[in-house]
Amino acid sequence: MSMIIAPGLSRLSAVLLATAVLVSGCGINSDGKPRALPSSDVPFGLLDQETPTTTAVAPGGTSTPSGARQAVIFLVDNDERLFEVAQEVAAPGGVRQALQALFGDLSAAQLADGLNTSIDAGTRLLDVTGPTSEGMVVLDVSRDLSTTIRERLRLALAQIVFTATAVPGVRSVRFKIDGELSDVPDGTGAATSRPLTRADFAQFAPKPQP
């Protein structure tokens, strides 16, 4: 559409006049109610625009749109074997967040499924160091863990080792108790200060799925 501008019309007046002409053709009728424009009249590219979404990727876990992570923790079933559970944890979803979830309270759904934990209530994760280039992490836990009776302690340590090594890049775990490197029992009950792996607690490994 072309417009003829009167010689005396100012530049501002011309702009206002052009705007009025454009508005009159934008789908608003004389009754003041908006009307849907056919897609052929919509400027190129606007129909294809989508609202961007950000999905955070968990280091070792499934990502969720909210930015949380899904980690793997190991609880105890009725047969005194470890049972793998996926649980949402805070970012970045590493060893610290997975173990904090493991040391936390069980949910009503987990209890209803017959799951439990051998880790004494009150046991706290004080610090995590690593992993090293060899895949070892050092876990500093509160003394509450060492007060667990020996048979339950082996199962509690199995829970911790399996949960920590579920995080990519982690293969073994060494323990501190209240800041000091400490001997802990391996799967046979023998006290050791060496790094422990899943193989040390193979008798507690989850039952094979049918």
pLDDT at 40: 53
CA 21 to CA 75: how far, in whole Å? 71
Q: pLDDT, tens digit, for every residue of 81-91?
A: 999 999 888 88
SS3 157: helix
Amino acid, single-letter form, for residue 61: G
CA 193 to CA 196: how far, in whole Å? 8
Q: pLDDT, tens digit, for every residue of 45-58?
A: 444 444 333 333 33
CA 152 to CA 150: how far, in whole Å? 5
pLDDT at 21: 43
The residue assigned the tokens 């899904």 is 70
* % of the chain surpassing 70 pLDDT: 68
Least-confidence region, from 40-54, 71-85, 121-135: 40-54
CA 67 to CA 128: how far, in whole Å? 22
Q: Which of 31-40, 51-60, 74-83 has the highest mean pLDDT?
A: 74-83
Residues β-bridged to residue 177: 141, 180
pTM: 0.68
Q: Which of 14-28, 57-71, 103-117 has the highest mean pLDDT?
A: 103-117
pLDDT at 90: 86
Q: pLDDT, tens digit, for every residue of 139-168?
A: 999 999 988 887 799 999 999 999 999 999
Q: Is a pLDDT exceeding 50 seen at residue 98?
A: yes
Q: What angle (nearest 5°) sits at the alpha carbon of residue 210, between those of residues 153 and 83?
A: 20
